[in-house]
Amino acid sequence: MSIIHEIAKNPEFKDKLRNQLSGAFENRLDEIIDRIASLDDFFFIRKEYDIYLDEARWSYFYGYFIAAINLSCVCAERLLIDFIMEASIRVNEHLLSTEEKENAFSGQLQSKRIKFAYSVNLIKDDTFKSFQKLDNYRHKYIHPNKPIAQYNISEDSKDAISKLHKIIKSCFPMMIEPTEKERLKQEIIDRFVRDEIYRDRKEPHSSSLPHHAAYGSELRGSADQASSTPGERKPK
């Protein structure tokens, strides 16, 4: 039985628990930094999906691999629903209305949405395969048919996030120029350094977490202004 809840509530043990948690985190810093370095930077300024992508990436960095996989799958599902609803889709020369699309896909399995989007040329071959891969991961980890220990969850989580990156780039073309990307990156680095200096000089636990600085306020201002409207049909 876990008693950490009771320990955390006890003022006499709080400092000891804080030191133990800090030490445990410091012992994992090298592997966390290695995972951060292994995953490409990604700038996506569309707030309704940023939260999923942000949490998925940092779950992977911190070693919460199943959470990273599931969040990637949730984001892909939400993204495809919105992509279908926003797109102009014709079936037998009939332009589907919003109501018709809602009736057709309400409560449907993600696999059926993927096949439909592909059948009407809304997504390309590579994007279709990425969506399918994430859907397979969803079934694999939400309904596992063998013990989780037999899966390579670290590699699967990294691949899931990479597939999500590809999907987003395909469905919503990047809206910032390379020079702007470098500027944003430098702002994020500067913000992180300032937070670390403040953390050292003031209260060690009062500053925002690094990932909130990286994927939070630095990009959120632009997120409110960004929008993307898919084209009517995309060639394979």
Residue 60 lies in a domain: yes
User: What averages of pLDDT result for each successive group of 10 residues across the chain (236 residues)?
Assistant: 68 80 82 86 69 89 94 92 87 87 80 90 93 94 86 94 89 57 62 60 47 40 39 44
Residue 117 has a CB neighbour count (10 Å cut-off) of 22
Residue 85 lies in a domain: yes
- pTM score: 0.66
Residue 212 lies in a domain: yes
* Per-residue model confidence (pLDDT) at position 71: 94
CA distances from 13 to 3, 21, 143, 205 (A): 12, 12, 39, 17
Residue 65 lies in a domain: yes
* Per-residue model confidence (pLDDT) at position 115: 92
Residue 35 lies in a domain: no
* Per-residue model confidence (pLDDT) at position 44: 61
Residue 2 lies in a domain: no
* Per-residue model confidence (pLDDT) at position 207: 43
Report the C-alpha gap between 50 and 216 in whole angstroms. 9
* Per-residue model confidence (pLDDT) at position 159: 96
Domain count, the chain: 1
**60: containing domain:** 47-223
Residue 128 lies in a domain: yes
Residue 73 lies in a domain: yes
Helix or strand run (H / E) with residue 91: strand 90-91
